[in-house]
């Protein structure tokens, strides 16, 4: 697909030296450019519909809580009824379930809101994940455009997102990860938009709002704040100047006060239920102790090096109710995207693209910061902790695929098309394994469990 018509009005590359880390300067935003290119708009619509209609089927299965829904989904039902136990670290939980107070409450509040509309049932507590997972695909496309200025990279990013197995499974599960991913991507979009025009203040507050919502969902947002801090320092050193004075004055408010205010606002129900500030401070302490001192073990525990190689997904659910068949729910990723993305990362690093392009350096920094810090985490870790890095990996791979599609050689174009075809084939082949569809047991053993570590 060609974006030649869109490149000129939507973005023009800077001619700054490599030391200045050239950035695209946008005159139109993603949705404006998309609207002017009807073919691209149609393609994105098809991609989004494909992603939505592969996430939503049989969403009510299984009918009860499974995997960590016994924490997140269950607590969302308690939040729905305004029960104080939802926030109490010492409350006694019913058998087989537990109150989830170890993360900020925003995702559970959203789930509760969804249940108030769709009913207090498995569909109700999961449908928010489908909606936000779909939004995350659009956000990844918008971020790709803001970074690289072409609709081709944006469309390829969305296509890869819609074919990714880890994101598919997490988008059908009542947990907080997919909510965090959407808010995180929104924050990155705002920041990149501000980088293209540092005199504009509004994108900073958009960034702070999105990251405040992300922080009210998961503390992992602190990694994103660290990325922005590192980038601000590096760019200031390279340019030998600070951002414009208005931006310097607004940065503490937009990226400091505003996110903290949103974080505190997510606990409005907490205070409305009668808790006071000293109890809030104690809750914060207990959350910190949990994340830094958890000594529990789990059969699906994994290490970050296994995540990037797609070697140890989490076995979330199994159903033996049909004779001779089995239905599993694994959050196994799409190996074509995982390994293709790693190749694209290596190519960008070894080709010194990070030195010539601020956008490449920034997206690589985001990718590594979303999973490398887990290597020193003192607590047990799971494959889904890699999920926030996967949209970034999709964008990096999409940029590499675009370069192949634009290649003057048939081999380059064929390579890109083959990668996309292989990713789609993988998605279709493993779709039952990501979503709990019954298949013959012999087939599941031969294909879905063919790699050591895919069953745990």
Kindly tell me the number of DSSP H helices and DSSP E strands found in the chain: 22, 5
* Residue 18 maps to a domain: no
Q: pTM value? A: 0.92
* Residue 4 maps to a domain: no
- The count of domains in the chain is 1
Cα distance between residue 310 and residue 97, in whole Å: 29
Cα distance between residue 91 and residue 99, in whole Å: 8
Q: Are 312 and 300 in contact (CB under 8 A)?
A: yes
Length of the chain: 456
Cα distance between residue 117 and residue 129, in whole Å: 14
Torsion of Cα atoms, 23 then 214 then 364 then 380, to 10°:
170
* Residue 9 maps to a domain: no
Non-local (6+) Cβ contacts of 93 within 8 A are 85, 99
* Residue 127 maps to a domain: yes
Concatenate the DSSP letters of all residues of 47-96 into one string.
HHHHHHHHHSTTTT-SSS--GGGGTHHHHHHHHHTT-GGGG-TTPPPPTT
Query: Of all helices (H) and strands (E), which one includes residue 326?
Result: strand 325-330
Q: Are 431 and 54 in contact (CB under 8 A)?
A: yes
* Residue 136 maps to a domain: yes
Terminal-to-terminal C-alpha distance of the chain? 42
Domain extent for 94: 25-448
Whether omega before 62 lies within 30 degrees of 0, making that bond cis, reads yes
* Residue 162 maps to a domain: yes
Q: Are 76 and 108 in contact (CB under 8 A)?
A: yes
Q: Which of 364, 104, 378 is nearest to 215 (CA)?
A: 104
Non-local (6+) Cβ contacts of 251 within 8 A are 204, 232, 243
Q: Name residue 209's beta-bridge partners.
A: none
Tens of pLDDT along the chain (456 residues)? 434 333 434 544 333 333 344 455 555 788 888 899 999 999 999 999 999 999 999 999 999 999 999 999 999 999 999 999 999 999 999 999 999 999 999 999 999 999 999 999 999 999 999 999 999 999 999 999 999 999 999 999 999 999 999 999 999 999 999 999 999 999 999 999 999 999 999 999 999 999 999 999 999 999 999 999 999 999 999 989 999 999 999 999 999 999 999 999 999 999 999 999 999 999 999 999 988 876 666 778 899 999 999 999 999 999 999 999 999 999 999 999 999 999 999 999 999 988 899 999 999 999 999 999 999 887 788 999 999 999 999 999 999 999 999 988 899 899 999 999 999 999 999 999 999 999 999 999 999 999 988 987
* Residue 331 maps to a domain: yes
Q: Are 453 and 76 in contact (CB under 8 A)?
A: no
Q: Which of 129, 160, 449, 430 is nearest to 312 (CA)?
A: 449
* Residue 311 maps to a domain: yes
């Amino acid at each position: 697909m060609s974006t030649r018509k869109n490149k000129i009005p939507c973005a023009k590359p800077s001619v700054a030296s490599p030391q200045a880390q050239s950035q695209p300067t946008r005159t139109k935003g993603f949705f404006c450019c998309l609207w002017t290119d009807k073919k691209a708009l149609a393609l994105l619509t098809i991609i989004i519909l494909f992603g939505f209609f592969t996430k939503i089927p049989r969403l009510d299965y299984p009918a009860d809580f499974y995997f960590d829904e016994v924490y997140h989904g269950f607590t969302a039902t308690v939040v729905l009824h305004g029960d104080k136990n939802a926030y109490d670290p010492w409350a006694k939980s019913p058998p087989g379930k537990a109150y989830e107070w170890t993360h900020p409450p925003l995702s559970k509040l959203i789930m509760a809101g969804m249940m108030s509309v769709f009913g207090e049932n498995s569909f109700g507590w999961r449908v928010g994940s489908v909606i936000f997972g779909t939004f995350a695909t659009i956000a990844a496309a918008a971020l790709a455009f803001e970074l690289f200025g072409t609709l081709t990279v944006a469309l390829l990013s969305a296509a890869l997102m819609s074919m990714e197995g880890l994101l598919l499974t997490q988008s059908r599960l009542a947990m907080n990860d997919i909510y965090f991913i959407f808010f995180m991507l929104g924050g990155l979009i705002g920041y990149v938009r501000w980088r293209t025009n540092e005199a504009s203040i509004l994108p900073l507050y958009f960034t702070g709002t999105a990251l405040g919502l992300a922080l009210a969902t998961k503390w992992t947002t602190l990694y994103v704040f660290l990325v922005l801090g590192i980038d601000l320092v590096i760019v200031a050193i390279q340019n030998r100047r600070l951002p414009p004075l208005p931006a310097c004055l607004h940065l503490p408010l937009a990226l400091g006060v505003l996110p903290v205010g949103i974080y505190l606002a997510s606990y409005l129900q907490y205070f409305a239920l009668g808790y006071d500030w000293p109890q809030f401070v104690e809750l914060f302490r207990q959350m910190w102790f949990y994340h830094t001192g958890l000594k529990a073990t789990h059969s699906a525990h994994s290490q970050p090096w296994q995540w990037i190689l797609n070697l140890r997904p989490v076995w979330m659910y199994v159903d033996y109710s049909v004779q001779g068949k089995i239905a599993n729910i694994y959050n196994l990723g799409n190996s074509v995207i995982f390994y293709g993305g790693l190749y694209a990362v290596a190519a960008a690093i070894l080709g010194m693209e990070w030195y010539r392009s601020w956008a490449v350096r920034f997206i690589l920094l985001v990718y590594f910061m979303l999973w490398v810090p887990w290597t020193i985490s003192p607590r047990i870790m799971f494959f889904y902790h890699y999920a926030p890095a996967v949209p970034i990996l999709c964008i990096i791979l999409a940029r590499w695929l675009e370069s192949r599609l634009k290649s003057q050689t048939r081999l380059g174009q064929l390579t890109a098309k083959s990668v996309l075809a292989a990713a789609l084939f993988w998605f279709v082949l493993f779709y039952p394994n990501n979503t709990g569809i019954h298949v013959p047991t012999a087939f599941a053993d031969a294909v879905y469990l063919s790699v050591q570590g895919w069953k745990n």
